[in-house]
Amino acid sequence: MDNKFIIKPKKKYGESSVVSARLPNELIQELDRVASKTGRTRNELIMMCIEFSLENVQIVGANDDE
């Protein structure tokens, strides 16, 4: 499986909601470094990471019907 995280052109979204999460400072610094290099906001990168994870998730040991 190719597990590269590829940054694509901006995607349009509909309505949104605010979600809060605690992240380690080191992770925030890494997000900010990537944001600076790519011209993306921290929020855009977090959404892209979540989308990538949900599209590529493999749940082991769970019921296939769920």
On the question of pLDDT at 64 being above 70, the answer is: no
Quick check: 66 pLDDT over 70?
no
10-25 pLDDT per residue, tens:
777 788 899 999 999 9
- Residue 41 pLDDT class (50, 70, 90 cuts): very high
| Contact (CB, 8 A) for 40 and 7 | yes
Extents of the domains making up the chain: 25-56
Q: Identify whether the C-beta of residue 44 lies closer than 8 Å to the C-beta of residue 10.
A: yes
- Report residue 27 CA to chain centroid gap: 12
| pTM attached to this predicted model | 0.71
* 13-36 burial code (b ≥16 CB/10 A, e <16): eeeeeeeeeeeeeeeeeebeebbe
